[in-house]
Amino acid sequence: MASPLVCSQAAMNHSIAFVPENRAALLLNRFSTLSKFTGVTAASRLETRPAPEMVSTGIHAIDALTGGLPRGYLTEIFGPASSGRTSILLAALAAATQRQEVCALVDVTDAFDPHSAAAAKVALDRLLWVRCGHKRKQQDREGHDFSRANKTCPRAGALASKRKSEGPVEQALRVTDLLLQSGGFGMVAIDLSDVPLKMARRIPLTSWFRFQRAVENTPTVLFVVGQVPCAQTCATLLLKLQASGKKLTALHGQFSETQHAQLLDGLQIEGELLRCRMERKPSRSVNAAFMTKMPRAG
Amino acid sequence: MPFACIFVPDFPVEALLRAEPELRAQAVVVLEGKAPLQKVFAGNEKARSGGVEVGMTKLQIEACTDFVLRARSPLQESAAHAALLDCAQSFSPRIEDASDDAILLDLAGLEPLFGPLPKIARDLARRASELGLEANVAVASNPDTAMLAARGFSGVTVIPAGREAEQLSSLPVAVLFVEAVPSPTLETFERWGVRNLRSLAALPDVALSERLGQEGVRLQQLARGSISRALVPVEPQLIFEEAIELEYPLMLLEPLAFLLSRLLEQLCARLGARALATQELRLHLELENGWHAEDDCCPSPALDPSDRRIFQRTLRLPVPLLDARIFLKLLQLDLKANPPGAPIAKIYLSAEPVRPRAAQSGLFLPPSPEPEKLELTLARITGIVGKGSVGSLEILDTHYPHGFRMRRFAPTEPQRVEPHSKHISESNSAITALRIFRPPLRATVTLRHGKPSHIVCSKQIQGDILWAAGPWRSSGDWWEQEGWSRDEWDIAVQAESHIALYRLVHDRLSGRWFLEGNYD
């Protein structure tokens, strides 16, 4: 019987005898056969993530700029008031509902206008509208009623539910969690547009990471609208919007008596793509512009 | 023509054990009567082997601590009987309601559907067990023989045609008498030394007829298994209701959920046995000290609607469902949002039966939430944001700017859409959207030549109005108390670094100015 020392020496001789010119490849192959490295994939062999399916925003200029909205990712648009955020949101919801998808809108400040949505051709029967903070006053009233019940029946205290006072942002985060876990939605939109900046920035980054993980590998588009970027690095697509002042300036110069149609129809919105993780190389800051029109202005 | 009989021994005990299956391993005694004169009404096998007899007083039973004492519950007995009928009707449309604890079935023509008779008998016993009842099942060529065999033999018994007398011969004569009260005929048989059916069947017909009359002859025919009669079929109504009478009032939602879970499982098993589902669940709680909570649902016909001690909740589902866990979660969420407010003495749970949903989603259809999950999600969201704050929109046929109402979210089944369908609009423009301020913001407006020129609303929204368009005057509902009349202006105000557009409203009835929304 050969001693262990002789065996290891023989093994070394054997390995040295078969070293080819492509040494790195051979080493990789040999490492992969070792039990210690079983199940470990070399970084160079990791599969690249397949390109996500892109869906239309309903606005040609935005689609041309971003390539559409990626399914299974978080898309964020931001801008100040009157910068066209809600117009894009409604256009995206209209496009999704017309594709027969079920959509959900988490309306943090209860600012959604049903008539604007109807004018934008959103299929309202396929849109789930969650109005956060809308019923706080009513719940307080119910809580008062139940306290009366407790007075009537002192033993009933244990049957009372604990009503916690929860802010609209906290409600919105919990609701979004539930919607994403439920699955099956084509688009889940979170409208943080009128949320004070201080509160919007206070949303923990872990929440956005959780949403991103929940929506990953699903056909859901997670769409966030706000005044400032909140989701930070979790947003795969980040679009900045601003209204162009040219139109209003021109109006001021031309008309002494501004008409309604002239004021609101044809507002020019400029969008700038700040981040797009769809491509390997960093995306350039590109601008696109589109017009808005007022439904009652014709 | 084969017949089957499902017989539940110790039926009052079994009816109670449906709600408390953990007591099945213990000696359970059912008491009847008003305190303190309660007497033993029934007991299970373990209780009988422990010396319990029908008619003993509660005091005698309490001397021994090994027995679990329960009051008789007619409510639970009626629910158990309904479950037994459902079990029978899930196999055969021709059933006879022989007694509370026994059901007869006509098995003619069922063999091609369910297999041979022994298999049908085993399946019947299994189905009864799923419904919470441990039953004896017997199959014979006539209903009375099947009934005697089910009463006499435990488990599943199949008696081949022509061997009825032989199979029944070992049974005691007492099995012929349904009532527990001693019968004079039975005493006569005992005096004669007739202990089992073999002895009775062997008695001479004429002599027996001379001594006991036609009743004696009928009993002898029963013992020989030669009596034949037509089944008296019944068609039970589709009422699915379960109830529990509690020994002590419940004060916490957690044990209530535990009991609701059992009731729901029984209800779902009964619905499943009849190949039905439900779209409406009604929960009635009888409260201890008379607190009453209003609800929009209609009360059960079984209950007095004027009864102030009834707390009612109704769950209406968009699609027929049959999942006890989902029902339980929905009821839990509903009760958490609307607690009963008083200790609970009795629980009634009923389901409105409907045909189950028969739908298959297509491979090429867009994604849509599963109805079961969606319903649960909506209930949870309602628990967070409150009732009336979640749902889909319906725009009302009115000129009033806020004319819409929330309704239950129930998306229609998606239809296949071609990728480049003409319905999907894509253009280079978007509709100017309005964001509503709820409630509208009070504003102080300065007019110049009849047009708004300066606004003070909040720290962020104040200053000179750069451009204003309007007014658009509208009014309506002047024939109602809630009439409205308003002038709308669209204004542009300089914000910090940009120009913001708002809708300004002048309420002509109150003379006040409001900022109604922001064009975005």
Q: Which of residues 412-431 of B touch A (CB under 8 A)?
A: 412, 414-417, 421, 423-431
Contact by Cβ (8 Å): A288, A64: yes
| Alpha-carbon distances of A130 from A139, A247, A269, rounded to whole Å | 16, 35, 28
Contact by Cβ (8 Å): B69, B35: no
Radius of gyration of chain B (CA): 35
- Report the CATH architecture of A54-135+163-297: 3-Layer(aba) Sandwich (3.40)
In which residue are the tokens 């109604």 written? B516
Average pLDDT over residues A278-289: 55
Contacts of B381 in chain A (CB under 8 A): 130, 175, 178-179
- Assign A287 to helix, strand or coil: strand
Quick one: pLDDT at residue B336? 87
Which position has the higher pLDDT, B318 or B11?
B11
Q: B3-159: which CATH number, 3.40.50.300, 3.50.50.60, 2.60.120.10, 3.30.70.270?
A: 3.30.70.270
- Please name the amino acid found at residue A124: L
Q: Smallest Cβ distance to B384: which of A114, A171, A242?
A: A171
Contacts of A84 in chain B (CB under 8 A): 430, 520
| Alpha-carbon distances of A267 from A118, A130, B467, B470, rounded to whole Å | 20, 29, 14, 18
Quick one: pLDDT at residue B364? 76
B485 CA to centre of own chain: 50
Quick one: pLDDT at residue B413? 74
Quick one: pLDDT at residue B303? 43
Lowest mean pLDDT among A276-290, B208-222, B235-249, B280-294: A276-290
Interface test with B, best of A90, A258, A259 (most B CBs within 10 A): A258
Average pLDDT over residues B329-348: 89
User: Residue B21 pLDDT more than 70?
Assistant: yes
Render pLDDT for B352-364 as a digit per residue (tens, 0 to 9): 999 988 776 677 7
Closest CA–CA distance from residue A284 to any residue of chain B (Å) = 22
Strand partners, B484: B476
Distance CA B503, CA B468 (A): 10
Contacts of A118 in chain B (CB under 8 A): 395
Determine contact: B298 vs chain A, CB below 8 A. Answer: no
Quick one: pLDDT at residue A151? 39
| Alpha-carbon distances of B19 from A102, B70, B124, B248, rounded to whole Å | 41, 12, 21, 15
Quick one: pLDDT at residue A251? 52
In B270-302, which positions are buried (b, 16+ CB within 10 angstroms) versus exposed (e)?
A: bbbbbebbbbebbbbbbbbeebbbeeeeebeee
Percent of chain B predicted with pLDDT > 90: 34
How confident is residue B449, by pLDDT bands cut at 50, 70 and 90? confident
Contact by Cβ (8 Å): A230, A201: yes
Render pLDDT for B126-180 as a digit per residue (tens, 0 to 9): 999 999 999 999 999 999 999 999 999 999 999 998 888 898 999 998 888 876 6
Closest CA to A296 of A71, A119, A109: A119
Render pLDDT for B398-448 as a digit per residue (tens, 0 to 9): 888 788 888 989 887 777 666 555 445 556 677 888 899 888 889 999 988
Q: Which of residues 364-383 of B touch A (CB under 8 A)?
A: 365-370, 373-374, 376-378, 380-381
- Please name the amino acid found at residue A147: S
Phi, psi of B45, rounded to the nearest 5 degrees: -60, -40
Terminal-residue alpha carbon distance, chain B = 79
Interface test with B, best of A82, A83, A270 (most B CBs within 10 A): A82
User: Residue A143 pLDDT more than 50?
Assistant: no
Compute the mean pLDDT over every residue in chain B, rounded to the nearest whole number.
86
The ipTM (two decimal places) reads 0.74
- Helix intervals (H) in chain A: 4-17, 23-33, 60-66, 85-98, 114-119, 136-152, 168-182, 197-201, 205-215, 246-254, 260-264
Token duo for residue A288: 């696109």
Phi, psi of B35, rounded to the nearest 5 degrees: -65, 140
- Helix intervals (H) in B203-298: 205-224, 253-273
Residue boundaries of the structural domains of chain A: 54-135+163-297
CATH 3.30.1490.100 fits B239-359+367-411, yes or no: yes
The bridge status of strand B344-354 relative to strand B429-431 is unpaired
Lowest mean pLDDT among A77-86, A217-226, A258-267, B304-313: A258-267
Determine contact: A101 vs chain B, CB below 8 A. Answer: yes
Average pLDDT over residues B466-476: 84
Q: Smallest Cβ distance to B426: which of A95, A155, A161?
A: A95
| Alpha-carbon distances of B205 from B165, B193, B201, B215, B224, rounded to whole Å | 15, 17, 9, 12, 12
Average pLDDT over residues A85-109: 92
- In chain B, CATH 3.30.1490.100 sits at 239-359+367-411
Terminal-residue alpha carbon distance, chain A = 98
Average pLDDT over residues B462-491: 86
Quick one: pLDDT at residue A296? 54
Other beta carbons within 10 Å of B408: 11
Q: Do A245 and B498 touch (CB under 8 A)?
A: yes
User: Residue B328 pLDDT more than 90?
Assistant: yes
Report whether the peptide linkage leading into residue B414 is cis, meaning its omega lies within 30 degrees of zero: no
Quick one: pLDDT at residue A126? 92
Distance CA A77, CA A239 (A): 5
Contact by Cβ (8 Å): B351, B274: no
Render pLDDT for A211-269 as a digit per residue (tens, 0 to 9): 999 998 899 999 999 998 888 888 888 888 887 765 555 555 444 454 554 555 666 77
In A239-259, which positions are buried (b, 16+ CB within 10 angstroms) versus exposed (e)?
A: bbbbbbeebbeebeeeeeebe
Quick one: pLDDT at residue A289? 63
Closest CA to B88 of B139, B17, B157, B35: B139
Distance CA B311, CA B301 (A): 14
Quick one: pLDDT at residue B117? 93
DSSP B57: B
Q: Which residues have a Cβ under 8 Å from the Cβ of B126 and sit 6 or more positions away?
A: none
The bridge status of strand A221-226 relative to strand A127-131 is unpaired
